[in-house]
Amino acid sequence: MRSMPESAFDDMQGLDIMQDFEHIWLELGAREASDSGTETDRDSIWLECNGELLDAASVKLIGVRKSAAGFETLLFMCPRCSEPHESLRLR
């Protein structure tokens, strides 16, 4: 087995890998936190009373059901007819 000379590691002095990884994880965590708040804003729902598509953030959600296939059905109060409706989350 060959040994590596110590001079090969001289340019790594002052490099703190743990600090670099911590910085990366904090940045990724901040991105995920900011993305999770806007996820609903990008979704649309279908109003069964008049066939209109609305932004999911513009309705009052009552509940969310997730099917075994991974589809989300939103239960919400319709802003047009004030009745409860269900709609798939359209992305």
Residue 5, token pair as written in the block = 């000379």
Report pLDDT for 43. 80
For the chain, domain boundaries:
42-91
- φ, ψ of residue 17 in degrees (nearest 5): -65, -40
pLDDT in tens, 34-86: 655 544 446 888 888 998 998 888 889 899 888 888 888 889 999 999 999 99
Query: For residues 62 and 84, is the Cβ–Cβ distance under 8 A?
Result: yes
pLDDT in tens, 40-49: 446 888 888 9
Q: Which residue has the tokens 């996820």?
A: 39
What is the model's pTM? 0.49
Report pLDDT for 29. 72
From CA 88, how far away is CA 55, in angstroms rounded? 12
Query: For residues 56 and 74, is the Cβ–Cβ distance under 8 A?
Result: yes
Report pLDDT for 15. 62
